Amino acid sequence: AQSVSQHNHHVILSEAASLELGCNYSYGGTVNLFWYVQYPGQHLQLLLKYFSGDPLVKGIKGFEAEFIKSKFSFNLRKPSVQWSDTAEYFCAVNAGAAGNKLTFGGGTRVLVKP
């Protein structure tokens, strides 16, 4: 069965610092990759997605992610965070043969200090 690992459970950083969140998955076939964000008290929002093509994808709010197939990774980055980026971030994978099923990582809580 496929699985998704997010290496950092908690990240604390200051405004204007750069952010990188790791995500690795275990599935050898075609995958669709996602990053979701959950702001405090709110539901999940899609930040960005990768289906095919350019492995560097840009999402909303200045986030980007890079798909490295050889490393089974899909890391999320933002060059300069803001206090409003405080949230929990989830990496998710859809295996090509799994219909619409998403498998999520455990999440990373990010706290940005003003």
- Shortest Å, Cβ 61 to another protein: 17
Tokens of 102: 């998403």
DSSP 44-69: -EEEEEE-SS-SEEE-GGG-EEEEEG
- 44 burial via Cβ count (<10 Å: 0-12, 13-18, 19+): middle
Q: Toward another protein, which CB reaches closer, 12 or 16? A: 12
Q: Which is nearer to another protein, 70 or 100 (CB)?
A: 100
Residue 96 C-beta: closest distance to another protein, Å: 8
**Residue numbers of the site for another protein (CB under 8 A)?**
4, 6, 9, 32, 42-44, 46, 49, 51, 90, 92, 94, 96, 99-107
Of residues 19 and 92, the one with the C-beta less far from another protein? 92
